[in-house]
Amino acid sequence: MKNTAIAMTLLLASAGTQAQDIVRHKIPGSDFPIAQAVTLPPNATIHFISGQVPPVVDKAAHPDSLAAYGDTRTQTMGVLKKIDEILKSMNLAMGDVVKMQVFLVGDPAKGGRADIKGFMEAYTQFFGAGAQPGPQPNLPARAVMQVAGLNSPGWLVEIEVVAARK
């Protein structure tokens, strides 16, 4: 009888967790398009997407040059489009992204500082009120860091994401 009671308690507890949703905690008093934190229920499936780098936008330019890949905004758009395609191939969407790590190289045209403005112009096309084709309210937790360099001298952006779905 005692084992049956324990089994029923575990069954009820697991049924309750299956009803839980992914929770995105907003930054209090802010409309900045990231989540302060994201909480995953125990039944969520987690997908780790490797870091993606920008596609070539000018095939006539030297393959190791900034001209081959474009500025930070252009590179970010290209990287996020690649991530979107990868997610779609897995039957996921950008709204399933729960964590994003962004690596930006300092832009020589910006005095060696990361072009956060250019990054955000592209980012908000995928997340937040300005997303296309319409608002994308499922915001990820995110970190953006400036790094000394990436594998190619022409790359200014690399992004990796974690997606989850219950």
For 74-124, what is each residue's pLDDT tens digit? Answer: 999 999 999 999 999 999 999 999 999 999 999 999 999 999 999 999 999
Closest alpha carbon to 98 in 17, 39, 20, 43: 39
Contact predicate 54/79, CB 8 Å = yes
The pLDDT score that the predictor gives to residue 160 is: 98
Whether the predicted pLDDT of 6 surpasses 90 = no
Quote the pTM value.
Answer: 0.87
Whether the predicted pLDDT of 36 surpasses 60 = yes
Burial (CB count <10 Å: 0-12, 13-18, 19+), residue 117:
exposed
Structure tokens at 130: 């300005």
Instruction: Please give the C-alpha separations between residue 87 and each of 46, 49, 64, in angstroms, as whole numbers.
Output: 12, 8, 28
What is the Cα–Cα distance from 100 to 49, expressed in whole angstroms?
10
Q: Which contacts (CB < 8 Å, 24+ apart) does range 37-40 have?
A: 37/141, 38/98, 38/99, 38/140, 38/141, 38/164, 40/98, 40/164, 40/166
The pLDDT score that the predictor gives to residue 128 is: 87
Query: Percent of the chain having pLDDT more than 70?
Result: 89
